[in-house]
Structure 1
Amino acid sequence: MLLIEQFALSNRVGPISGKFSPGRLTLLIGPNGSGKSSLLGAMAGLYQGAGEITLQGERLSDVSTHELARYRAMLAQDTVLPHGLLGYELLALGAEPVGGVTEAVCLTLSKLAEPLGLNSLYQRQLNTLSGGEQQRLLIASTLLQVDPSVNPEGKLLLLDEPLAGLDWHHQLATLRLLREYAELGLTVVASIHDINLACQYADDIWCLHQGILAAQGPPEVITPELIAQVFEVKVRLIEQEGYRLLLAE
Protein backbone atom coordinates (compact mmCIF):
# COMPACT_ATOMS: atom_id res chain seq x y z
CA MET A 1 0.00 0.00 0.00
CA LEU A 2 1.13 3.56 -0.76
CA LEU A 3 0.10 6.02 1.94
CA ILE A 4 0.23 9.81 1.57
CA GLU A 5 -0.07 11.93 4.70
CA GLN A 6 -0.39 15.70 4.35
CA PHE A 7 2.11 15.77 1.51
CA ALA A 8 2.81 19.13 -0.14
CA LEU A 9 5.24 20.65 -2.62
CA SER A 10 5.36 24.43 -2.43
CA ASN A 11 3.24 26.11 -5.14
CA ARG A 12 2.71 22.78 -6.89
CA VAL A 13 0.55 20.33 -5.00
CA GLY A 14 -0.97 19.70 -1.59
CA PRO A 15 -1.44 19.27 1.18
CA ILE A 16 -2.92 15.93 0.10
CA SER A 17 -3.66 12.77 2.06
CA GLY A 18 -4.90 9.39 0.85
CA LYS A 19 -3.97 5.82 0.09
CA PHE A 20 -3.47 3.66 -2.98
CA SER A 21 -4.13 -0.04 -2.51
CA PRO A 22 -2.69 -3.09 -4.28
CA GLY A 23 -5.00 -4.62 -6.85
CA ARG A 24 -6.61 -1.31 -7.83
CA LEU A 25 -6.18 1.04 -10.77
CA THR A 26 -6.37 4.69 -9.75
CA LEU A 27 -6.54 7.33 -12.48
CA LEU A 28 -5.68 10.97 -11.83
CA ILE A 29 -7.57 13.65 -13.73
CA GLY A 30 -7.44 17.43 -13.60
CA PRO A 31 -6.61 20.47 -15.74
CA ASN A 32 -3.05 21.24 -16.82
CA GLY A 33 -1.06 22.50 -13.85
CA SER A 34 -3.34 20.90 -11.28
CA GLY A 35 -0.47 18.93 -9.70
CA LYS A 36 -0.84 15.47 -11.26
CA SER A 37 2.77 15.19 -12.45
CA SER A 38 4.14 16.59 -9.20
CA LEU A 39 2.12 14.09 -7.18
CA LEU A 40 3.23 11.16 -9.34
CA GLY A 41 6.86 12.27 -9.11
CA ALA A 42 6.61 12.47 -5.34
CA MET A 43 5.02 9.00 -5.22
CA ALA A 44 8.02 7.73 -7.21
CA GLY A 45 10.40 9.21 -4.65
CA LEU A 46 11.69 11.86 -7.07
CA TYR A 47 10.52 14.87 -5.04
CA GLN A 48 10.60 15.52 -1.33
CA GLY A 49 8.29 17.96 0.35
CA ALA A 50 6.31 18.46 3.53
CA GLY A 51 4.41 15.54 4.98
CA GLU A 52 5.17 11.90 4.36
CA ILE A 53 4.77 9.19 1.72
CA THR A 54 5.25 5.54 2.65
CA LEU A 55 5.31 2.36 0.57
CA GLN A 56 4.63 -0.88 2.44
CA GLY A 57 5.20 1.05 5.66
CA GLU A 58 8.62 2.39 4.64
CA ARG A 59 9.16 6.11 4.09
CA LEU A 60 10.24 6.87 0.52
CA SER A 61 12.63 9.52 1.82
CA ASP A 62 14.58 6.74 3.59
CA VAL A 63 15.03 4.64 0.43
CA SER A 64 17.69 5.31 -2.21
CA THR A 65 16.66 5.83 -5.83
CA HIS A 66 18.58 2.68 -6.77
CA GLU A 67 16.68 0.61 -4.22
CA LEU A 68 13.34 2.15 -5.20
CA ALA A 69 13.88 0.86 -8.75
CA ARG A 70 13.34 -2.66 -7.36
CA TYR A 71 9.88 -1.78 -6.09
CA ARG A 72 8.41 0.79 -8.43
CA ALA A 73 8.44 1.83 -12.08
CA MET A 74 7.68 5.33 -13.32
CA LEU A 75 6.81 6.51 -16.83
CA ALA A 76 7.44 10.26 -16.93
CA GLN A 77 6.21 12.80 -19.44
CA ASP A 78 8.53 13.99 -22.21
CA THR A 79 11.19 11.32 -21.75
CA VAL A 80 14.28 12.15 -23.82
CA LEU A 81 15.32 9.08 -25.81
CA PRO A 82 18.87 8.55 -27.12
CA HIS A 83 19.01 8.75 -30.91
CA GLY A 84 20.53 5.82 -32.72
CA LEU A 85 19.30 3.12 -30.35
CA LEU A 86 17.05 0.44 -31.78
CA GLY A 87 13.71 -0.39 -30.20
CA TYR A 88 14.89 -3.67 -28.71
CA GLU A 89 17.99 -1.95 -27.29
CA LEU A 90 15.77 0.49 -25.38
CA LEU A 91 13.84 -2.42 -23.91
CA ALA A 92 17.08 -4.17 -22.99
CA LEU A 93 18.14 -1.04 -21.08
CA GLY A 94 14.78 -1.03 -19.32
CA ALA A 95 15.42 -4.60 -18.18
CA GLU A 96 18.72 -3.71 -16.50
CA PRO A 97 17.23 -2.82 -13.08
CA VAL A 98 15.63 -6.28 -12.92
CA GLY A 99 18.62 -8.37 -13.96
CA GLY A 100 18.91 -7.82 -17.70
CA VAL A 101 17.36 -9.73 -20.58
CA THR A 102 16.31 -13.02 -19.03
CA GLU A 103 13.91 -15.68 -20.27
CA ALA A 104 11.20 -14.12 -18.09
CA VAL A 105 11.82 -10.72 -19.74
CA CYS A 106 11.51 -12.25 -23.21
CA LEU A 107 8.26 -14.00 -22.26
CA THR A 108 6.83 -10.77 -20.84
CA LEU A 109 7.76 -8.81 -23.97
CA SER A 110 6.13 -11.51 -26.05
CA LYS A 111 2.96 -11.02 -24.00
CA LEU A 112 3.09 -7.23 -24.48
CA ALA A 113 4.00 -7.32 -28.17
CA GLU A 114 0.51 -7.73 -29.58
CA PRO A 115 -1.47 -5.21 -27.48
CA LEU A 116 1.25 -2.57 -27.81
CA GLY A 117 2.19 -3.36 -31.42
CA LEU A 118 5.88 -3.87 -30.62
CA ASN A 119 6.99 -6.33 -33.29
CA SER A 120 7.40 -3.71 -36.00
CA LEU A 121 9.39 -1.43 -33.67
CA TYR A 122 12.20 -3.67 -32.42
CA GLN A 123 14.58 -3.17 -35.37
CA ARG A 124 13.90 0.53 -35.96
CA GLN A 125 15.97 3.42 -34.66
CA LEU A 126 14.19 5.47 -32.04
CA ASN A 127 14.63 8.74 -33.93
CA THR A 128 12.71 7.28 -36.91
CA LEU A 129 9.66 6.46 -34.79
CA SER A 130 6.62 8.64 -34.28
CA GLY A 131 5.85 9.98 -30.82
CA GLY A 132 3.17 7.36 -30.35
CA GLU A 133 5.49 4.53 -31.39
CA GLN A 134 8.15 5.74 -28.95
CA GLN A 135 5.51 5.94 -26.23
CA ARG A 136 4.48 2.32 -26.78
CA LEU A 137 8.08 1.19 -26.28
CA LEU A 138 8.34 3.28 -23.12
CA ILE A 139 5.12 1.80 -21.76
CA ALA A 140 6.44 -1.71 -22.41
CA SER A 141 9.73 -0.86 -20.66
CA THR A 142 7.87 0.52 -17.64
CA LEU A 143 5.54 -2.48 -17.33
CA LEU A 144 8.52 -4.80 -17.68
CA GLN A 145 10.24 -3.33 -14.64
CA VAL A 146 7.50 -4.42 -12.20
CA ASP A 147 5.94 -7.37 -14.00
CA PRO A 148 5.58 -10.05 -11.29
CA SER A 149 7.03 -12.77 -13.51
CA VAL A 150 10.16 -10.65 -14.02
CA ASN A 151 10.40 -8.83 -10.70
CA PRO A 152 8.58 -10.44 -7.75
CA GLU A 153 9.53 -7.41 -5.63
CA GLY A 154 7.59 -5.01 -7.87
CA LYS A 155 4.84 -3.19 -5.94
CA LEU A 156 4.05 0.12 -7.59
CA LEU A 157 3.40 1.17 -11.21
CA LEU A 158 3.20 4.93 -11.94
CA LEU A 159 2.53 6.46 -15.35
CA ASP A 160 2.25 10.16 -16.20
CA GLU A 161 -0.03 10.57 -19.21
CA PRO A 162 0.72 7.18 -20.79
CA LEU A 163 -1.98 7.74 -23.43
CA ALA A 164 -0.27 10.85 -24.84
CA GLY A 165 0.39 10.45 -28.55
CA LEU A 166 -1.35 7.09 -28.81
CA ASP A 167 -4.09 6.30 -31.30
CA TRP A 168 -7.45 5.15 -29.92
CA HIS A 169 -6.65 1.45 -30.39
CA HIS A 170 -3.45 1.65 -28.34
CA GLN A 171 -5.05 3.91 -25.73
CA LEU A 172 -7.61 1.22 -25.00
CA ALA A 173 -4.98 -1.54 -25.13
CA THR A 174 -2.84 0.38 -22.61
CA LEU A 175 -5.74 0.87 -20.20
CA ARG A 176 -6.61 -2.82 -20.42
CA LEU A 177 -2.99 -3.66 -19.60
CA LEU A 178 -3.02 -1.33 -16.60
CA ARG A 179 -6.13 -3.11 -15.31
CA GLU A 180 -4.42 -6.48 -15.85
CA TYR A 181 -1.36 -5.38 -13.89
CA ALA A 182 -3.57 -4.12 -11.06
CA GLU A 183 -5.31 -7.51 -11.02
CA LEU A 184 -1.88 -9.13 -10.64
CA GLY A 185 -1.60 -7.33 -7.28
CA LEU A 186 0.26 -4.15 -8.17
CA THR A 187 -0.73 -0.68 -7.06
CA VAL A 188 -1.27 1.15 -10.36
CA VAL A 189 -1.65 4.94 -10.63
CA ALA A 190 -1.76 6.93 -13.88
CA SER A 191 -2.80 10.38 -15.04
CA ILE A 192 -4.97 10.79 -18.12
CA HIS A 193 -6.96 13.59 -19.71
CA ASP A 194 -9.91 11.63 -21.12
CA ILE A 195 -12.49 11.78 -18.33
CA ASN A 196 -14.84 9.27 -19.95
CA LEU A 197 -12.05 6.71 -20.30
CA ALA A 198 -11.11 7.34 -16.67
CA CYS A 199 -14.69 6.64 -15.61
CA GLN A 200 -14.79 3.48 -17.73
CA TYR A 201 -11.53 1.86 -16.62
CA ALA A 202 -10.64 3.16 -13.15
CA ASP A 203 -11.39 1.48 -9.87
CA ASP A 204 -10.78 4.85 -8.22
CA ILE A 205 -10.42 8.39 -9.55
CA TRP A 206 -8.57 11.28 -7.97
CA CYS A 207 -9.54 14.68 -9.37
CA LEU A 208 -7.00 17.43 -8.70
CA HIS A 209 -7.70 21.14 -8.97
CA GLN A 210 -5.11 23.85 -8.30
CA GLY A 211 -2.98 21.37 -6.40
CA ILE A 212 -5.78 20.22 -4.11
CA LEU A 213 -7.78 17.01 -4.16
CA ALA A 214 -11.23 18.08 -5.35
CA ALA A 215 -12.73 14.58 -5.36
CA GLN A 216 -11.69 10.98 -4.84
CA GLY A 217 -13.49 7.66 -4.97
CA PRO A 218 -15.20 5.41 -7.50
CA PRO A 219 -16.09 6.81 -10.95
CA GLU A 220 -19.48 7.94 -9.62
CA VAL A 221 -17.76 10.85 -7.83
CA ILE A 222 -17.25 12.49 -11.24
CA THR A 223 -20.42 14.55 -11.70
CA PRO A 224 -21.45 17.36 -14.04
CA GLU A 225 -21.20 19.73 -11.08
CA LEU A 226 -17.60 18.69 -10.39
CA ILE A 227 -16.65 19.02 -14.07
CA ALA A 228 -18.14 22.52 -14.17
CA GLN A 229 -16.23 23.53 -11.04
CA VAL A 230 -12.84 22.03 -11.98
CA PHE A 231 -12.74 22.17 -15.78
CA GLU A 232 -15.16 25.07 -16.37
CA VAL A 233 -17.04 22.97 -18.90
CA LYS A 234 -20.78 22.33 -18.84
CA VAL A 235 -21.60 18.66 -19.41
CA ARG A 236 -24.56 16.35 -19.09
CA LEU A 237 -24.47 12.81 -17.78
CA ILE A 238 -25.91 9.91 -19.80
CA GLU A 239 -26.28 6.52 -18.14
CA GLN A 240 -27.17 3.44 -20.17
CA GLU A 241 -26.64 -0.28 -19.64
CA GLY A 242 -24.31 0.36 -16.71
CA TYR A 243 -22.12 2.89 -18.53
CA ARG A 244 -21.75 6.57 -17.68
CA LEU A 245 -20.89 9.11 -20.39
CA LEU A 246 -20.24 12.82 -19.94
CA LEU A 247 -21.11 14.92 -22.98
CA ALA A 248 -20.19 18.58 -23.40
CA GLU A 249 -23.14 20.88 -24.00
Structure 2
Amino acid sequence: MLEFENFIQARRVGPVSGECAAGRLTLLIGPNGSGKSSLLAGAAGLSDSDGKGRVRLAGKDLSGYSLHELARHRAMLAQQAVLPHGLRGYELLALAAEPLGGVSEAACRVMAELAGPLGLNSLYNRQLDTLSGGEQQRLLIAGTLLQVDPAINPDARLLLLDEPLAGLDWHHQLATLRLLRGYAQRGLAVVASIHDINLACQYADDVWCLHKGKLAAFGGPEVITPQLIAEVFEVKVRVLEQDGHRIMLPEE
Protein backbone atom coordinates (compact mmCIF):
# COMPACT_ATOMS: atom_id res chain seq x y z
CA MET A 1 0.00 0.00 0.00
CA LEU A 2 1.13 3.55 -0.81
CA GLU A 3 0.21 6.18 1.79
CA PHE A 4 0.46 9.97 1.68
CA GLU A 5 0.22 11.93 4.92
CA ASN A 6 0.06 15.71 4.45
CA PHE A 7 2.48 15.48 1.54
CA ILE A 8 3.53 18.90 0.23
CA GLN A 9 5.76 19.94 -2.63
CA ALA A 10 6.13 23.70 -2.37
CA ARG A 11 4.23 25.62 -5.08
CA ARG A 12 3.31 22.33 -6.78
CA VAL A 13 1.09 20.03 -4.76
CA GLY A 14 -0.35 19.52 -1.32
CA PRO A 15 -1.16 18.98 1.33
CA VAL A 16 -2.38 15.59 0.09
CA SER A 17 -3.36 12.66 2.28
CA GLY A 18 -4.70 9.34 1.01
CA GLU A 19 -3.99 5.70 0.26
CA CYS A 20 -3.45 3.78 -2.98
CA ALA A 21 -4.18 0.18 -2.16
CA ALA A 22 -2.36 -2.89 -3.36
CA GLY A 23 -4.36 -4.80 -5.95
CA ARG A 24 -6.01 -1.67 -7.33
CA LEU A 25 -5.42 0.62 -10.30
CA THR A 26 -5.53 4.28 -9.26
CA LEU A 27 -5.66 6.81 -12.10
CA LEU A 28 -4.83 10.48 -11.56
CA ILE A 29 -6.64 13.11 -13.60
CA GLY A 30 -6.48 16.88 -13.56
CA PRO A 31 -5.52 19.86 -15.72
CA ASN A 32 -1.92 20.61 -16.65
CA GLY A 33 -0.08 21.97 -13.62
CA SER A 34 -2.49 20.43 -11.11
CA GLY A 35 0.26 18.47 -9.34
CA LYS A 36 0.01 14.98 -10.84
CA SER A 37 3.70 14.68 -11.76
CA SER A 38 4.82 16.10 -8.42
CA LEU A 39 2.64 13.62 -6.55
CA LEU A 40 4.03 10.72 -8.56
CA ALA A 41 7.60 11.92 -7.97
CA GLY A 42 6.86 12.00 -4.26
CA ALA A 43 5.48 8.48 -4.42
CA ALA A 44 8.69 7.33 -6.12
CA GLY A 45 10.93 8.98 -3.53
CA LEU A 46 12.20 11.46 -6.11
CA SER A 47 10.94 14.70 -4.55
CA ASP A 48 13.13 17.75 -4.19
CA SER A 49 14.48 18.59 -0.78
CA ASP A 50 11.52 20.87 0.03
CA GLY A 51 9.06 17.96 0.02
CA LYS A 52 7.21 17.78 3.35
CA GLY A 53 4.87 15.33 5.00
CA ARG A 54 5.24 11.56 4.89
CA VAL A 55 5.06 8.99 2.11
CA ARG A 56 5.01 5.33 3.13
CA LEU A 57 5.27 2.17 1.07
CA ALA A 58 4.21 -1.09 2.70
CA GLY A 59 4.10 0.73 6.05
CA LYS A 60 7.67 2.10 5.84
CA ASP A 61 8.70 5.69 5.15
CA LEU A 62 10.28 6.05 1.71
CA SER A 63 13.20 7.83 3.35
CA GLY A 64 14.01 4.54 5.06
CA TYR A 65 14.64 2.71 1.78
CA SER A 66 18.03 2.68 0.09
CA LEU A 67 18.20 3.43 -3.65
CA HIS A 68 18.79 -0.27 -4.32
CA GLU A 69 15.73 -1.21 -2.25
CA LEU A 70 13.60 1.38 -4.03
CA ALA A 71 14.68 -0.03 -7.39
CA ARG A 72 13.38 -3.43 -6.33
CA HIS A 73 10.20 -2.28 -4.59
CA ARG A 74 8.94 0.25 -7.12
CA ALA A 75 9.32 1.34 -10.74
CA MET A 76 8.42 4.67 -12.28
CA LEU A 77 7.92 5.80 -15.86
CA ALA A 78 8.68 9.53 -15.97
CA GLN A 79 6.79 11.86 -18.27
CA GLN A 80 9.94 12.93 -20.11
CA ALA A 81 12.28 9.97 -19.91
CA VAL A 82 15.81 10.39 -21.30
CA LEU A 83 16.76 7.54 -23.59
CA PRO A 84 20.36 6.26 -23.57
CA HIS A 85 22.09 7.01 -26.88
CA GLY A 86 22.98 4.21 -29.26
CA LEU A 87 20.97 1.39 -27.70
CA ARG A 88 18.63 -1.05 -29.36
CA GLY A 89 15.19 -1.84 -28.01
CA TYR A 90 16.12 -5.07 -26.25
CA GLU A 91 19.13 -3.35 -24.63
CA LEU A 92 16.81 -0.76 -23.08
CA LEU A 93 14.82 -3.54 -21.44
CA ALA A 94 18.05 -5.22 -20.34
CA LEU A 95 18.86 -2.06 -18.37
CA ALA A 96 15.48 -2.31 -16.63
CA ALA A 97 16.37 -5.86 -15.58
CA GLU A 98 19.69 -4.84 -13.98
CA PRO A 99 18.28 -4.31 -10.46
CA LEU A 100 16.90 -7.86 -10.70
CA GLY A 101 20.24 -9.46 -11.53
CA GLY A 102 20.23 -8.98 -15.29
CA VAL A 103 18.45 -10.67 -18.18
CA SER A 104 17.46 -14.06 -16.83
CA GLU A 105 15.42 -16.72 -18.56
CA ALA A 106 12.40 -15.57 -16.57
CA ALA A 107 12.98 -11.95 -17.65
CA CYS A 108 13.10 -13.08 -21.27
CA ARG A 109 9.74 -14.77 -20.82
CA VAL A 110 8.23 -11.55 -19.48
CA MET A 111 9.70 -9.59 -22.39
CA ALA A 112 8.09 -12.06 -24.78
CA GLU A 113 4.74 -11.75 -22.97
CA LEU A 114 4.83 -7.95 -23.20
CA ALA A 115 5.81 -7.96 -26.86
CA GLY A 116 2.36 -9.02 -28.06
CA PRO A 117 0.07 -6.41 -26.46
CA LEU A 118 2.61 -3.59 -26.88
CA GLY A 119 3.68 -4.55 -30.42
CA LEU A 120 7.38 -4.82 -29.61
CA ASN A 121 8.66 -7.70 -31.73
CA SER A 122 9.66 -5.42 -34.60
CA LEU A 123 11.23 -2.88 -32.21
CA TYR A 124 13.57 -5.00 -30.08
CA ASN A 125 16.40 -5.04 -32.62
CA ARG A 126 16.09 -1.43 -33.82
CA GLN A 127 18.14 1.54 -32.69
CA LEU A 128 16.13 3.73 -30.33
CA ASP A 129 16.88 6.89 -32.33
CA THR A 130 15.21 5.37 -35.41
CA LEU A 131 11.89 4.87 -33.61
CA SER A 132 8.92 7.20 -33.43
CA GLY A 133 7.95 8.77 -30.13
CA GLY A 134 5.10 6.29 -29.67
CA GLU A 135 7.38 3.32 -30.39
CA GLN A 136 9.91 4.57 -27.86
CA GLN A 137 7.12 5.04 -25.32
CA ARG A 138 5.97 1.45 -25.72
CA LEU A 139 9.50 0.19 -25.01
CA LEU A 140 9.73 2.45 -21.96
CA ILE A 141 6.42 1.11 -20.67
CA ALA A 142 7.66 -2.45 -21.16
CA GLY A 143 10.88 -1.71 -19.27
CA THR A 144 8.94 -0.21 -16.38
CA LEU A 145 6.61 -3.21 -16.19
CA LEU A 146 9.53 -5.62 -16.40
CA GLN A 147 11.18 -4.06 -13.36
CA VAL A 148 8.24 -4.89 -11.08
CA ASP A 149 6.82 -8.00 -12.73
CA PRO A 150 5.96 -10.38 -9.87
CA ALA A 151 7.20 -13.34 -11.90
CA ILE A 152 10.79 -12.10 -11.62
CA ASN A 153 10.65 -9.62 -8.74
CA PRO A 154 8.92 -10.92 -5.59
CA ASP A 155 9.82 -7.68 -3.77
CA ALA A 156 7.78 -5.50 -6.16
CA ARG A 157 5.08 -3.42 -4.48
CA LEU A 158 4.42 -0.31 -6.54
CA LEU A 159 4.12 0.69 -10.21
CA LEU A 160 4.04 4.41 -11.08
CA LEU A 161 3.55 5.90 -14.54
CA ASP A 162 3.35 9.57 -15.49
CA GLU A 163 1.21 9.95 -18.62
CA PRO A 164 2.02 6.51 -20.08
CA LEU A 165 -0.57 6.96 -22.86
CA ALA A 166 1.13 10.07 -24.27
CA GLY A 167 2.04 9.55 -27.94
CA LEU A 168 0.32 6.16 -28.21
CA ASP A 169 -2.31 5.27 -30.78
CA TRP A 170 -5.70 4.20 -29.49
CA HIS A 171 -4.96 0.47 -29.81
CA HIS A 172 -1.83 0.68 -27.64
CA GLN A 173 -3.51 3.04 -25.17
CA LEU A 174 -6.12 0.37 -24.48
CA ALA A 175 -3.50 -2.40 -24.40
CA THR A 176 -1.49 -0.43 -21.85
CA LEU A 177 -4.49 0.14 -19.60
CA ARG A 178 -5.33 -3.57 -19.73
CA LEU A 179 -1.75 -4.37 -18.74
CA LEU A 180 -1.88 -1.93 -15.84
CA ARG A 181 -5.12 -3.45 -14.63
CA GLY A 182 -3.54 -6.89 -14.91
CA TYR A 183 -0.51 -5.88 -12.83
CA ALA A 184 -2.84 -4.49 -10.17
CA GLN A 185 -4.74 -7.77 -10.12
CA ARG A 186 -1.43 -9.52 -9.47
CA GLY A 187 -1.06 -7.59 -6.22
CA LEU A 188 0.75 -4.34 -7.04
CA ALA A 189 -0.42 -0.86 -6.18
CA VAL A 190 -0.56 0.76 -9.64
CA VAL A 191 -0.82 4.55 -9.96
CA ALA A 192 -0.80 6.42 -13.28
CA SER A 193 -1.76 9.84 -14.58
CA ILE A 194 -3.81 10.15 -17.77
CA HIS A 195 -5.73 12.90 -19.54
CA ASP A 196 -8.64 10.93 -20.99
CA ILE A 197 -11.40 11.20 -18.40
CA ASN A 198 -13.61 8.57 -20.04
CA LEU A 199 -10.78 6.03 -20.10
CA ALA A 200 -10.04 6.82 -16.47
CA CYS A 201 -13.65 6.15 -15.51
CA GLN A 202 -13.73 2.93 -17.54
CA TYR A 203 -10.47 1.33 -16.36
CA ALA A 204 -9.74 2.71 -12.89
CA ASP A 205 -10.59 1.04 -9.63
CA ASP A 206 -10.02 4.42 -8.01
CA VAL A 207 -9.76 7.93 -9.45
CA TRP A 208 -7.93 10.86 -7.87
CA CYS A 209 -8.78 14.25 -9.36
CA LEU A 210 -6.21 16.96 -8.65
CA HIS A 211 -6.95 20.68 -8.95
CA LYS A 212 -4.50 23.44 -8.09
CA GLY A 213 -2.39 20.98 -6.13
CA LYS A 214 -5.24 19.66 -4.00
CA LEU A 215 -7.38 16.53 -4.14
CA ALA A 216 -10.68 17.77 -5.55
CA ALA A 217 -12.23 14.29 -5.52
CA PHE A 218 -11.20 10.70 -4.91
CA GLY A 219 -12.92 7.35 -4.85
CA GLY A 220 -14.54 5.12 -7.44
CA PRO A 221 -15.20 6.42 -10.97
CA GLU A 222 -18.63 7.60 -9.85
CA VAL A 223 -17.00 10.57 -8.06
CA ILE A 224 -16.29 12.10 -11.49
CA THR A 225 -19.44 14.10 -12.16
CA PRO A 226 -20.39 16.84 -14.65
CA GLN A 227 -20.26 19.32 -11.77
CA LEU A 228 -16.68 18.30 -10.93
CA ILE A 229 -15.62 18.47 -14.60
CA ALA A 230 -17.09 21.96 -14.91
CA GLU A 231 -15.32 23.15 -11.77
CA VAL A 232 -11.91 21.56 -12.41
CA PHE A 233 -11.61 21.54 -16.21
CA GLU A 234 -13.98 24.41 -17.01
CA VAL A 235 -15.81 22.22 -19.52
CA LYS A 236 -19.54 21.49 -19.52
CA VAL A 237 -20.36 17.85 -20.23
CA ARG A 238 -23.39 15.62 -20.39
CA VAL A 239 -23.41 11.97 -19.36
CA LEU A 240 -24.53 9.09 -21.57
CA GLU A 241 -25.12 5.57 -20.27
CA GLN A 242 -24.07 2.78 -22.63
CA ASP A 243 -23.79 -0.93 -21.72
CA GLY A 244 -23.27 -0.08 -18.07
CA HIS A 245 -20.59 2.54 -18.78
CA ARG A 246 -20.85 6.29 -18.26
CA ILE A 247 -19.54 8.39 -21.15
CA MET A 248 -19.00 12.11 -20.78
CA LEU A 249 -19.49 14.25 -23.88
CA PRO A 250 -18.62 17.96 -24.07
CA GLU A 251 -21.60 20.16 -24.71
CA GLU A 252 -21.47 22.28 -27.83
Q: TM-score range by the shorter chain?
A: over 0.9
Letter in 2 for 1:136: R
Distance 1:66 1:231 in 2: 39
Q: How is 1:52-131 mapped onto 2 (pairs within 5 angstroms)? A: 52-131=54-133
* Partner residue, 1:32: 32
Distance 1:45 1:162 in 2: 19
Distance 1:143 1:241 in 2: 31
Stretches of structure 1 lacking an aligned partner (at least 5 in a row): none
Q: Give the superposition deviation at 1:61.
A: 1.4
Q: Give the superposition deviation at 1:148.
A: 0.4
SS at match of 2:168: coil
* Partner residue, 1:170: 172
SS at match of 1:119: coil
Count how many residue pairs are aligned between Structure 1 and Structure 2.
Answer: 249
Return the match for 1:238 from 237, 240, 246: 240
Q: Give the superposition deviation at 1:103.
A: 0.8
Q: Give the superposition deviation at 1:50.
A: 1.3
- Listed one character per residue, the Cα deviations across residues 49-103 of structure 1 (whole Å, up to 9, x for unaligned) are 1110111111001212222011000000111112211111111111101110001
Letter in 2 for 1:25: L
TM-score by length of 2: 0.98
Distance 1:93 1:55 in 2: 24
Kept in 2: contact 1:45–1:65 (CA 8 A) = no
Q: Identity, % of aligned pairs?
A: 73
Return the match for 1:214 from 205, 216, 219: 216
SS at match of 1:230: helix
Kept in 2: contact 1:161–1:192 (CA 8 A) = yes
Letter in 2 for 1:119: N
Question: How large is the RMSD of aligned CA atoms in angstroms?
Answer: 0.7
SS at match of 2:191: strand
SS at match of 2:45: coil
Letter in 1 for 2:21: S
Poorly superposed stretches of 4+, deviation over 4 Å: none
* Partner residue, 1:223: 225
- Listed one character per residue, the Cα deviations across residues 195-241 of structure 1 (whole Å, up to 9, x for unaligned) are 00000000000000000000000000000000000000010011122
Q: How is 1:167-206 mapped onto 2 (pairs within 5 angstroms)? A: 167-206=169-208
